[in-house]
Structure 1
């Protein structure tokens, strides 16, 4: 296995004014054991297996609708729940990874295996760490610690779900990790001002939406870093908290 190390950021909040706003009713990734979060995918296709595929909502609850076997559907979103990965195929409509064959638009090499594309690694998000599996999805008796970051070189989709290869014959389940996309980082010094109206969303270092808080409208925040992940520019306003550059007004010193 090859571990991907990443420098940890400072821990103090960088606010110039009090403005963090809780989002009412939003679920945090670790507060709800059934919900882990979304990962944006390159435009891809899922093909329903011979058994057909039930459609679920974002929380894994059956909707009572089904997709016919061998039908093909476009997806660009992976939803990771406690029982595995789901792929978005419509507004609040998802299919289980185990019910479909996943193909990236580029890099697909057949039999459910494809290159990781722009993704560089995974971050272990499970409180209990991440079990390791072989290429068939069977446990091999090893584990990765919670919070650790690992390089990947392959995405493997088998009947039990989606797995990422972190070493020779060693895979982690998408249930236990979040994809990490390597990006560009640059130290800066400046102030960002949020716009009027709705709160400004916050994201973590991997570009994942932080669901339980946001920045209040018309507030100023110190920023010390610009990063680009997946073609989107981010400005850091606190430890592992970023805003999309296009969502704020930036003044560099």
Structure 2
């Protein structure tokens, strides 16, 4: 009787070893949704998407008509279908550039995401941009940037300033270099050419770091990309000598 039981156990072990090996099922794979900025497309996030994918994440790079609708009409149609493209029951993360971060804030102000893990924003105008204040009334601005562009200022029309504090795990990367000195003169502080470092910050954020990168090319900057992946993995940005005792 003992010999028969041992043979059956041995046969079961051989059957298990013969099964195909799968290191990570799609049901447990973490998902990262990428959202580009105003007047951009999903192509602007392609390099970042590849790096995040190589780090082991399932990526969903969203293209949406950023200049065709107001922010509240862009958020749902951009984000809801992207969530459906994530593996079932996976944790959900967002990586956004510029206005893409405002779309996430807009969406989360109305719809909770139960399996939301982390959000990383690059150069977000979380408290609006003075550039919009100065140029919004100029002929051609609305034609180029639409209603959403006008909603990114610091005044009464500012959507970011109405959305409130972050109630989710948020890391923010600000840029400190500009390739547009004319626009930078409109911003009374260190900036990336479109948004000041201070105005990227948001109450409730978990971490904030400044990188010598420009607004337009921030999502393609190698240091920014490395920081994005580090935050997704660790929930904090990487600093010299592993010094993460506080925000910059």
Say whether the fold is shared (TM-score over 0.5): no
Q: TM-score range by the shorter chain?
A: under 0.3
Larger Rg: 2
Q: Which has the higher contact order (CA 8 A, sep 6+)?
A: 1
* TM-score, reference length from structure 1: 0.23
Higher fraction of strand: 1
* TM-score, reference length from structure 2: 0.24
